[in-house]
Amino acid sequence: MKKVLLALTAVAAMTGSASAADLGARPYVKAPMPAPVANWTGFYVFGGGGGGLSNADQHVQTTVGAVPLTIDQRQGGSGWFGTVGAGYDWQFSGTWVAGVFADGQFGSIRATIQDPIVGITGNQKLETSWAAGVRLGWLVAPNVLSYVNGGYSGAHFGQTNFTTLGGTPAGIHLNSYNRNGWFVGGGVENSLNIFGVSSPGWFMKTEYRSAFYNAKTSNELFDGTNVLVGRDIRANSWNQTISTSLVYRFNWTGPVVAKY
């Protein structure tokens, strides 16, 4: 029996050695690639368009003495616009982003202007405007920014040509003018890396903005001669817009490549 046990032990030892030799060296497995890192710090440009609503609080007054002839009335209108701009953002504390930006708008947003004393009406057209401001946002996800903004704005309003209630020219107009004011707004900006399509640096943002422009006293003038009619219209302007823009970020960080 002792001899049998010794023989079995020897066979088992030789079998184990052969199996270990057959296995060979352990295969090398490469470490997984790190996930992309989102970095919002840097310059960007954008362009887009949208629609807007315009309201004007107005009344008619005398040219001499500024005596009110009507009570304040709010008249409204709507229209479209395009926009282009640029900015710079800083990402801090992990999920917060602050930035500065400037943009310009061009288009046709109209608000009604009326002189009920003689029954004439016209359109005050917001033709161009610009804005410069700051924004503060929070990262809902690494590539999705929700933000609020605000700042200073200027606008150019085109000439208002009056017509009678029947639609014929009244022979009276208001000259074009510029006004300054301020704005507040907010929106969401997100990467276009969706549906499996890679578009590094490209984003889309949708933004609401509300801009307020100071009141302006405009003389009613006769067409051709620009002689004073004797009545003025004093009106301010409040414009609300919603726009969607395509954004390109110049230094958007892509995947980090590990070195081995």
Question: What is the pLDDT tens value at each position of the chain, 260 positions in all?
Answer: 445 444 444 544 454 444 444 545 555 555 555 444 568 999 999 999 999 999 989 999 999 999 999 999 999 999 999 999 999 999 998 899 999 999 999 999 999 999 999 999 999 899 999 999 999 999 999 999 999 999 999 999 999 999 998 889 999 999 999 999 999 999 999 999 866 667 889 999 999 999 999 999 999 999 999 999 999 999 999 999 999 999 999 988 644 333 43
> What backbone torsions phi and psi does residue 18 show, to the nearest 5 degrees?
-65, -40
Q: Are 34 and 258 in contact (CB under 8 A)?
A: yes
Q: Which residues of 202-233 are buried (b: 16+ CB within 10 A; e: fewer)?
A: ebbbebebbbebeebebbbbeeeeeeebebbb
Q: Supply the pTM of this predicted model.
A: 0.79
Q: Structure tokens of 96?
A: 């917060």
Check residue 226 and report its DSSP letter.
-
- Residues 96 and 140: their CA atoms lie apart, in Å, by 10
